[in-house]
Amino acid sequence: DCDALLSLSALPWCKCNAVTGWAERESRASQSLQPKIGSKEMQREETLASSSYSSSRTIVPPPEDAWVNIYQSLLPQWKSLTLSRSHQSTIPISISRVNQIDAARLDIEMSAMLKEQLIKVFSLMKPGLLFQYEPELDAFLEFLIWRFSIWVDKPTPGNALMNLRYRDERAIETRGKVRTGLEGPGLTVTQKLWYCIATVGGQYIWARLQSFSAFRRWGDSEQRSLARRAWILIQRIEGFYKAASFSNLLIFLYTGRYRNLIERALRARLVYGSPNMNRAVSFEYMNRQLVWNEFSEMLLLLLPLLNSSSIRNFLRPFSKDKSSSSAGDETVCPICQASPTIPFLALPCQHRYCYYCLRTRCSVAPAFRCSRCSEPVIAMQRHGGSISNITQKQ
Protein backbone atom coordinates (compact mmCIF):
# COMPACT_ATOMS: atom_id res chain seq x y z
CA ASP A 1 0.00 0.00 0.00
CA CYS A 2 2.79 2.40 0.85
CA ASP A 3 4.46 1.70 -2.53
CA ALA A 4 1.21 2.30 -4.38
CA LEU A 5 0.68 5.57 -2.64
CA LEU A 6 4.24 6.68 -3.49
CA SER A 7 3.78 5.90 -7.19
CA LEU A 8 0.49 7.75 -7.36
CA SER A 9 2.02 10.77 -5.70
CA ALA A 10 4.93 10.79 -8.23
CA LEU A 11 2.75 10.88 -11.40
CA PRO A 12 1.91 14.62 -11.30
CA TRP A 13 5.60 15.51 -10.92
CA CYS A 14 6.66 13.45 -13.99
CA LYS A 15 3.89 14.98 -16.06
CA CYS A 16 5.00 18.44 -15.11
CA ASN A 17 8.61 17.71 -16.05
CA ALA A 18 7.55 16.38 -19.47
CA VAL A 19 5.54 19.50 -20.19
CA THR A 20 8.36 21.78 -19.19
CA GLY A 21 10.87 19.86 -21.38
CA TRP A 22 8.64 20.11 -24.43
CA ALA A 23 8.25 23.84 -23.89
CA GLU A 24 12.00 24.34 -23.72
CA ARG A 25 12.56 22.45 -26.98
CA GLU A 26 9.94 24.51 -28.78
CA SER A 27 11.48 27.75 -27.62
CA ARG A 28 14.94 26.67 -28.80
CA ALA A 29 13.61 25.71 -32.24
CA SER A 30 11.84 29.02 -32.62
CA GLN A 31 15.01 30.89 -31.66
CA SER A 32 17.06 28.96 -34.24
CA LEU A 33 14.56 29.71 -37.05
CA GLN A 34 14.36 33.44 -36.35
CA PRO A 35 17.83 34.32 -37.83
CA LYS A 36 17.13 32.36 -41.04
CA ILE A 37 13.80 34.01 -41.56
CA GLY A 38 15.35 37.37 -40.87
CA SER A 39 18.17 36.83 -43.37
CA LYS A 40 15.73 35.81 -46.14
CA GLU A 41 13.64 38.87 -45.51
CA MET A 42 16.70 41.07 -45.65
CA GLN A 43 17.80 39.56 -48.97
CA ARG A 44 14.34 40.06 -50.39
CA GLU A 45 14.35 43.67 -49.31
CA GLU A 46 17.78 44.25 -50.84
CA THR A 47 16.68 42.70 -54.14
CA LEU A 48 13.62 44.88 -54.27
CA ALA A 49 15.70 47.91 -53.49
CA SER A 50 18.26 47.17 -56.20
CA SER A 51 15.56 46.51 -58.79
CA SER A 52 13.82 49.69 -57.92
CA TYR A 53 17.15 51.55 -58.20
CA SER A 54 17.98 50.06 -61.59
CA SER A 55 14.50 50.81 -62.89
CA SER A 56 14.73 54.30 -61.66
CA ARG A 57 18.17 54.78 -63.37
CA THR A 58 17.90 56.06 -67.02
CA ILE A 59 20.00 54.41 -69.93
CA VAL A 60 21.88 57.06 -71.92
CA PRO A 61 22.27 56.09 -75.71
CA PRO A 62 25.74 56.48 -77.35
CA PRO A 63 26.32 59.39 -79.72
CA GLU A 64 25.56 58.91 -83.39
CA ASP A 65 29.20 59.23 -84.50
CA ALA A 66 30.51 56.71 -81.96
CA TRP A 67 30.97 54.02 -84.63
CA VAL A 68 32.96 56.48 -86.71
CA ASN A 69 35.41 57.00 -83.87
CA ILE A 70 35.71 53.25 -83.32
CA TYR A 71 36.23 52.69 -87.06
CA GLN A 72 38.92 55.36 -87.20
CA SER A 73 40.70 53.77 -84.27
CA LEU A 74 40.58 50.26 -85.81
CA LEU A 75 41.40 51.33 -89.38
CA PRO A 76 45.23 51.24 -88.98
CA GLN A 77 45.08 47.73 -87.54
CA TRP A 78 42.84 46.56 -90.39
CA LYS A 79 45.19 48.07 -92.99
CA SER A 80 48.20 46.38 -91.43
CA LEU A 81 46.40 43.02 -91.45
CA THR A 82 45.36 43.48 -95.08
CA LEU A 83 48.90 44.43 -96.09
CA SER A 84 50.40 41.45 -94.31
CA ARG A 85 47.82 39.18 -95.93
CA SER A 86 48.54 40.56 -99.37
CA HIS A 87 52.23 39.81 -98.88
CA GLN A 88 51.41 36.37 -97.53
CA SER A 89 52.87 33.64 -99.73
CA THR A 90 50.50 31.16 -101.27
CA ILE A 91 50.63 27.47 -100.62
CA PRO A 92 53.67 26.11 -102.47
CA ILE A 93 52.62 23.53 -105.04
CA SER A 94 54.76 21.39 -107.30
CA ILE A 95 53.42 20.54 -110.75
CA SER A 96 55.06 17.61 -112.48
CA ARG A 97 57.42 18.82 -115.18
CA VAL A 98 56.97 15.56 -117.08
CA ASN A 99 53.21 16.16 -117.25
CA GLN A 100 53.69 19.65 -118.66
CA ILE A 101 56.21 18.56 -121.29
CA ASP A 102 54.08 15.55 -122.22
CA ALA A 103 51.06 17.82 -122.61
CA ALA A 104 52.97 20.07 -125.03
CA ARG A 105 54.16 17.03 -126.96
CA LEU A 106 50.64 15.63 -127.20
CA ASP A 107 49.36 18.95 -128.53
CA ILE A 108 52.05 18.92 -131.22
CA GLU A 109 51.21 15.34 -132.18
CA MET A 110 47.51 16.17 -132.40
CA SER A 111 48.23 19.16 -134.64
CA ALA A 112 50.34 16.92 -136.89
CA MET A 113 47.51 14.37 -137.10
CA LEU A 114 44.99 17.06 -138.02
CA LYS A 115 47.36 18.44 -140.63
CA GLU A 116 47.86 14.98 -142.13
CA GLN A 117 44.12 14.39 -142.38
CA LEU A 118 43.58 17.82 -143.92
CA ILE A 119 46.28 17.18 -146.53
CA LYS A 120 44.58 13.91 -147.48
CA VAL A 121 41.47 15.89 -148.36
CA PHE A 122 43.45 17.72 -151.09
CA SER A 123 45.40 14.64 -152.20
CA LEU A 124 43.55 14.45 -155.55
CA MET A 125 44.32 18.04 -156.42
CA LYS A 126 47.44 19.40 -158.07
CA PRO A 127 50.60 18.08 -156.38
CA GLY A 128 52.41 20.71 -154.35
CA LEU A 129 49.37 22.96 -154.13
CA LEU A 130 49.38 23.07 -150.34
CA PHE A 131 53.14 23.39 -150.03
CA GLN A 132 53.13 27.12 -150.67
CA TYR A 133 50.27 27.59 -148.21
CA GLU A 134 51.72 25.44 -145.42
CA PRO A 135 52.21 28.35 -142.95
CA GLU A 136 48.58 29.38 -143.42
CA LEU A 137 47.45 25.79 -142.89
CA ASP A 138 49.44 25.50 -139.66
CA ALA A 139 48.07 28.83 -138.42
CA PHE A 140 44.52 27.75 -139.21
CA LEU A 141 44.88 24.52 -137.24
CA GLU A 142 46.47 26.31 -134.28
CA PHE A 143 43.65 28.85 -134.32
CA LEU A 144 41.04 26.08 -134.23
CA ILE A 145 42.71 24.46 -131.25
CA TRP A 146 42.93 27.81 -129.44
CA ARG A 147 39.33 28.74 -130.28
CA PHE A 148 37.76 25.58 -128.89
CA SER A 149 40.04 25.16 -125.87
CA ILE A 150 41.66 28.22 -124.31
CA TRP A 151 39.13 30.78 -125.52
CA VAL A 152 36.23 28.90 -123.87
CA ASP A 153 38.18 28.28 -120.62
CA LYS A 154 38.91 24.66 -121.42
CA PRO A 155 42.30 22.93 -121.46
CA THR A 156 43.95 21.86 -124.65
CA PRO A 157 43.74 18.14 -125.50
CA GLY A 158 47.22 17.51 -124.15
CA ASN A 159 46.53 19.45 -120.95
CA ALA A 160 43.22 17.63 -120.49
CA LEU A 161 44.95 14.25 -120.72
CA MET A 162 47.54 15.39 -118.17
CA ASN A 163 44.93 16.95 -115.82
CA LEU A 164 46.28 20.48 -116.32
CA ARG A 165 44.72 23.90 -116.77
CA TYR A 166 45.91 27.49 -117.11
CA ARG A 167 45.75 29.81 -114.10
CA ASP A 168 46.31 33.54 -113.92
CA GLU A 169 49.17 33.99 -111.46
CA ARG A 170 48.46 37.71 -111.15
CA ALA A 171 45.10 37.13 -109.43
CA ILE A 172 45.52 34.13 -107.16
CA GLU A 173 42.80 33.83 -104.54
CA THR A 174 44.47 33.71 -101.12
CA ARG A 175 41.26 33.70 -99.11
CA GLY A 176 39.05 30.72 -98.54
CA LYS A 177 38.02 28.23 -95.94
CA VAL A 178 39.67 25.29 -97.72
CA ARG A 179 42.80 25.90 -99.76
CA THR A 180 44.74 23.32 -101.74
CA GLY A 181 47.04 25.67 -103.62
CA LEU A 182 45.25 24.94 -106.91
CA GLU A 183 42.66 27.68 -106.56
CA GLY A 184 42.74 30.67 -108.81
CA PRO A 185 40.91 32.13 -111.78
CA GLY A 186 41.58 31.19 -115.36
CA LEU A 187 43.04 33.45 -117.98
CA THR A 188 41.46 36.79 -118.66
CA VAL A 189 40.20 37.84 -122.07
CA THR A 190 43.29 39.99 -122.59
CA GLN A 191 45.59 37.08 -121.77
CA LYS A 192 43.69 34.80 -124.14
CA LEU A 193 43.94 37.30 -126.99
CA TRP A 194 47.65 37.87 -126.43
CA TYR A 195 48.17 34.11 -126.27
CA CYS A 196 46.48 33.75 -129.66
CA ILE A 197 48.49 36.61 -131.14
CA ALA A 198 51.78 35.19 -129.86
CA THR A 199 51.22 31.52 -130.69
CA VAL A 200 49.16 31.70 -133.87
CA GLY A 201 50.10 35.07 -135.33
CA GLY A 202 53.71 35.09 -134.16
CA GLN A 203 54.51 31.64 -135.50
CA TYR A 204 52.79 32.38 -138.80
CA ILE A 205 54.62 35.68 -139.33
CA TRP A 206 57.97 34.14 -138.45
CA ALA A 207 57.46 31.10 -140.72
CA ARG A 208 56.33 33.28 -143.62
CA LEU A 209 59.23 35.69 -143.11
CA GLN A 210 61.78 32.88 -143.12
CA SER A 211 60.34 31.27 -146.25
CA PHE A 212 60.18 34.64 -148.03
CA SER A 213 63.76 35.53 -147.12
CA ALA A 214 65.02 32.11 -148.19
CA PHE A 215 63.12 32.30 -151.49
CA ARG A 216 64.46 35.79 -152.20
CA ARG A 217 67.97 34.74 -151.14
CA TRP A 218 68.56 37.62 -148.81
CA GLY A 219 71.56 35.83 -147.37
CA ASP A 220 73.32 35.70 -150.76
CA SER A 221 72.85 39.38 -151.56
CA GLU A 222 75.51 42.08 -151.32
CA GLN A 223 77.12 42.84 -147.99
CA ARG A 224 75.69 46.34 -147.52
CA SER A 225 72.33 45.90 -149.13
CA LEU A 226 69.07 46.24 -147.25
CA ALA A 227 68.17 42.59 -147.81
CA ARG A 228 71.49 41.48 -146.35
CA ARG A 229 70.95 43.62 -143.26
CA ALA A 230 67.44 42.27 -142.85
CA TRP A 231 68.80 38.73 -143.12
CA ILE A 232 71.41 39.41 -140.45
CA LEU A 233 68.73 40.95 -138.21
CA ILE A 234 66.52 37.87 -138.63
CA GLN A 235 69.41 35.60 -137.72
CA ARG A 236 70.21 37.65 -134.62
CA ILE A 237 66.60 37.69 -133.49
CA GLU A 238 66.42 33.94 -133.96
CA GLY A 239 69.62 33.41 -131.99
CA PHE A 240 68.41 35.67 -129.17
CA TYR A 241 65.09 33.84 -129.04
CA LYS A 242 66.81 30.46 -128.87
CA ALA A 243 69.08 31.66 -126.06
CA ALA A 244 66.12 33.05 -124.13
CA SER A 245 64.17 29.83 -124.68
CA PHE A 246 67.09 27.78 -123.41
CA SER A 247 67.36 29.96 -120.31
CA ASN A 248 63.64 29.64 -119.74
CA LEU A 249 63.95 25.86 -120.07
CA LEU A 250 66.60 25.77 -117.35
CA ILE A 251 64.43 27.92 -115.08
CA PHE A 252 61.45 25.69 -115.83
CA LEU A 253 63.39 22.56 -114.93
CA TYR A 254 64.42 24.20 -111.66
CA THR A 255 61.11 25.77 -110.59
CA GLY A 256 58.51 23.83 -112.58
CA ARG A 257 56.77 26.99 -113.84
CA TYR A 258 56.18 28.37 -117.36
CA ARG A 259 57.21 25.99 -120.12
CA ASN A 260 57.89 28.71 -122.68
CA LEU A 261 58.45 32.43 -122.93
CA ILE A 262 54.83 33.17 -123.86
CA GLU A 263 53.49 31.62 -120.65
CA ARG A 264 56.09 33.48 -118.60
CA ALA A 265 55.28 36.82 -120.22
CA LEU A 266 51.53 36.34 -119.70
CA ARG A 267 51.94 34.82 -116.19
CA ALA A 268 49.83 31.87 -117.33
CA ARG A 269 50.82 28.93 -115.18
CA LEU A 270 49.77 25.31 -115.61
CA VAL A 271 48.26 23.76 -112.47
CA TYR A 272 46.30 20.62 -111.83
CA GLY A 273 42.65 20.82 -112.77
CA SER A 274 41.59 18.39 -110.05
CA PRO A 275 43.74 17.58 -107.00
CA ASN A 276 42.47 13.98 -106.82
CA MET A 277 42.65 13.00 -110.48
CA ASN A 278 45.33 10.80 -112.00
CA ARG A 279 46.76 11.09 -115.47
CA ALA A 280 44.56 9.62 -118.16
CA VAL A 281 47.49 8.39 -120.21
CA SER A 282 48.51 4.76 -119.82
CA PHE A 283 52.08 3.82 -120.62
CA GLU A 284 51.28 0.16 -121.23
CA TYR A 285 51.22 0.55 -125.00
CA MET A 286 54.35 2.69 -124.93
CA ASN A 287 56.24 0.14 -122.84
CA ARG A 288 55.18 -2.67 -125.17
CA GLN A 289 56.22 -0.64 -128.19
CA LEU A 290 59.62 0.08 -126.66
CA VAL A 291 60.19 -3.60 -125.89
CA TRP A 292 59.34 -4.73 -129.41
CA ASN A 293 61.38 -1.92 -130.92
CA GLU A 294 64.47 -2.93 -128.96
CA PHE A 295 63.86 -6.59 -129.79
CA SER A 296 63.62 -5.86 -133.52
CA GLU A 297 66.80 -3.78 -133.43
CA MET A 298 68.60 -6.65 -131.70
CA LEU A 299 67.44 -9.07 -134.40
CA LEU A 300 68.56 -6.71 -137.14
CA LEU A 301 71.96 -6.63 -135.49
CA LEU A 302 72.28 -10.40 -135.04
CA LEU A 303 70.77 -11.72 -138.28
CA PRO A 304 73.65 -10.62 -140.55
CA LEU A 305 76.01 -12.50 -138.25
CA LEU A 306 74.11 -15.75 -138.70
CA ASN A 307 74.46 -18.07 -141.69
CA SER A 308 70.92 -18.90 -142.72
CA SER A 309 71.94 -21.70 -145.03
CA SER A 310 73.90 -23.49 -142.34
CA ILE A 311 70.98 -23.24 -139.96
CA ARG A 312 68.60 -24.48 -142.65
CA ASN A 313 70.90 -27.37 -143.50
CA PHE A 314 71.25 -28.22 -139.83
CA LEU A 315 67.49 -28.35 -139.37
CA ARG A 316 66.76 -30.14 -142.64
CA PRO A 317 67.44 -33.70 -141.31
CA PHE A 318 64.84 -33.10 -138.63
CA SER A 319 62.25 -31.96 -141.15
CA LYS A 320 59.29 -34.28 -141.64
CA ASP A 321 58.56 -33.21 -145.23
CA LYS A 322 61.58 -34.59 -147.10
CA SER A 323 59.66 -35.91 -150.10
CA SER A 324 58.39 -32.49 -151.10
CA SER A 325 61.89 -31.03 -151.16
CA SER A 326 63.25 -33.91 -153.20
CA ALA A 327 60.32 -33.83 -155.58
CA GLY A 328 60.89 -30.21 -156.50
CA ASP A 329 62.07 -28.86 -159.83
CA GLU A 330 65.62 -30.17 -160.25
CA THR A 331 66.36 -27.93 -163.22
CA VAL A 332 66.79 -24.86 -161.00
CA CYS A 333 69.48 -24.15 -158.46
CA PRO A 334 68.18 -24.92 -154.94
CA ILE A 335 70.12 -21.94 -153.57
CA CYS A 336 69.18 -19.06 -155.87
CA GLN A 337 66.06 -20.72 -157.34
CA ALA A 338 67.13 -19.79 -160.87
CA SER A 339 68.20 -21.76 -163.91
CA PRO A 340 71.97 -22.39 -163.62
CA THR A 341 74.04 -20.51 -166.20
CA ILE A 342 77.07 -22.71 -165.59
CA PRO A 343 75.58 -25.85 -164.08
CA PHE A 344 77.64 -27.98 -161.74
CA LEU A 345 76.77 -31.20 -159.93
CA ALA A 346 77.28 -31.78 -156.26
CA LEU A 347 78.91 -35.14 -155.58
CA PRO A 348 77.99 -37.75 -154.63
CA CYS A 349 74.26 -36.84 -154.80
CA GLN A 350 74.63 -35.25 -158.30
CA HIS A 351 72.11 -32.46 -157.75
CA ARG A 352 72.54 -29.52 -160.06
CA TYR A 353 73.68 -26.09 -158.78
CA CYS A 354 75.05 -22.87 -160.11
CA TYR A 355 78.81 -22.89 -160.06
CA TYR A 356 78.98 -19.65 -158.09
CA CYS A 357 76.36 -20.76 -155.51
CA LEU A 358 77.89 -24.18 -154.97
CA ARG A 359 81.46 -22.90 -154.88
CA THR A 360 80.59 -20.12 -152.44
CA ARG A 361 78.72 -22.42 -150.07
CA CYS A 362 81.47 -25.00 -150.09
CA SER A 363 84.08 -22.33 -149.37
CA VAL A 364 82.11 -20.80 -146.50
CA ALA A 365 81.00 -24.09 -144.92
CA PRO A 366 83.46 -26.98 -145.19
CA ALA A 367 80.76 -29.40 -144.03
CA PHE A 368 78.22 -28.15 -146.56
CA ARG A 369 75.27 -30.46 -147.19
CA CYS A 370 73.14 -30.63 -150.26
CA SER A 371 70.10 -28.40 -150.05
CA ARG A 372 67.90 -31.10 -151.62
CA CYS A 373 68.95 -34.33 -149.94
CA SER A 374 71.10 -33.13 -147.03
CA GLU A 375 73.98 -35.32 -148.13
CA PRO A 376 77.50 -34.05 -147.44
CA VAL A 377 79.08 -32.52 -150.55
CA ILE A 378 82.63 -33.80 -151.00
CA ALA A 379 83.26 -32.62 -154.57
CA MET A 380 81.71 -30.82 -157.52
CA GLN A 381 81.60 -31.72 -161.24
CA ARG A 382 80.65 -29.74 -164.32
CA HIS A 383 77.32 -30.88 -165.70
CA GLY A 384 77.89 -33.09 -168.74
CA GLY A 385 81.63 -33.17 -168.14
CA SER A 386 83.98 -36.11 -167.74
CA ILE A 387 85.34 -37.57 -164.56
CA SER A 388 88.54 -35.57 -165.01
CA ASN A 389 86.57 -32.36 -164.47
CA ILE A 390 85.73 -33.27 -160.88
CA THR A 391 86.80 -30.50 -158.52
CA GLN A 392 87.56 -31.48 -154.99
CA LYS A 393 86.12 -29.25 -152.30
CA GLN A 394 88.85 -27.35 -150.49
Q: What is the mean pLDDT of residues 73-85?
A: 76
Q: Are residues 190 and 335 in the same domain?
A: no
pLDDT, tens digit, 9 for 90 and up, residues 172-226: 654 444 467 777 888 999 999 999 999 999 999 999 998 888 888 887 777 778 8
For range 125-147, the mean pLDDT: 87
Give domain status of residue 56, yes or no.
no
Mean pLDDT of 93-100: 89
* Among candidate residues 232, 252, 272, the one where a domain is terminated: 272
Regarding whether 235 and 130 lie in a shared domain, the answer is: yes
Range of the domain at 358: 323-392
In a domain, 365, yes or no: yes
- Identify which has the larger pLDDT, 216 or 97: 97
Task: Please indicate, yes or no, if residue 132 is contained in any of the structural domains.
Answer: yes
203 with 124, same domain: the answer is yes
Q: Are residues 347 and 268 in the same domain?
A: no
Distance separating alpha carbons of residues 172 and 185, to the nearest angstrom: 7
Shared-domain flag, residues 249 and 371: no
The CA-atom distances, in angstroms, between 10 and each of 5, 7, 14, 24, 107 are: 9, 5, 7, 22, 129
**CATH code of the domain covering residue 354:** 3.30.40.10
**Is residue 331 located within the same domain as residue 268?**
no
Mark whether 227 and 375 lie in a shared domain: no
CB of 259 closer than 8 Å to CB of 270: yes
Residue pair 255/270 in contact (Cβ under 8 Å)? The answer is no
Asked if residue 222 and residue 330 are part of one domain, the reply reads no
What values do phi and psi take at 61, rounded to 5?
-70, 150
Residue ending a domain, choose from 272, 306, 340: 272
Stretch 107-118: mean pLDDT, rounded? 91
Q: How do residues 2-14 score in pLDDT, each as one tens digit?
A: 444 334 344 444 4
Whether 143 and 232 map to the same domain: the answer is: yes
Q: Does residue 327 carry a pLDDT above 50?
A: no
Tell whether 330 and 255 lie within a shared domain: no
209 in any annotated domain: yes
Are the C-beta atoms of 364 and 307 separated by less than 8 Å?
Answer: yes
67, part of any domain:
no
On whether residue 292 sits in a domain, the answer given is no
The pLDDT assigned to 5 comes to 37
Whether the CB-CB separation of 374 and 316 falls below 8 Å is answered with yes
In a domain, 164, yes or no: yes
Which of 76-80, 85-89, 250-254 shows the lowest mean pLDDT across its residues? 85-89
Question: Is 266 found in the same domain as 165?
Answer: yes
Report CA-CA distances (Å) from 84 to 80, 81, 342: 6, 5, 100
- Which stretches of the chain are DSSP H helices? 2-56, 66-86, 97-121, 134-147, 157-161, 189-196, 202-216, 226-255, 261-266, 284-302, 308-315, 322-326, 355-364
- Residue 149 in contact with residue 156, Cβ under 8 Å? yes
Domain total of the chain: 2
Tell me the average pLDDT across 33-47: 52
Residue 190: the pLDDT is 94
- 208 shares a domain with 101: yes
How confident is the prediction for the chain on average, in pLDDT?
Answer: 77
- 83 falls in which pLDDT band (50, 70, 90)? low
pLDDT grade, residue 323 (50/70/90)? Answer: very low
Hey, is 133 helix, strand or coil? coil
Domain's final residue, options 231, 251, 272: 272
- 112 or 5, which is more confident: 112
If you count them, how many residues does the chain have? 394
State the sign of the Cα–Cα–Cα–Cα dihedral 309, 315, 317, 320.
negative
Tell me the percentage of the chain whose pLDDT exceeds 70: 70
Arithmetic mean of pLDDT, 296-321: 70
pTM: 0.53
Does residue 91 form part of some domain?
Answer: no
Lowest-confidence region among 162-171, 192-201, 233-242, 366-375: 366-375
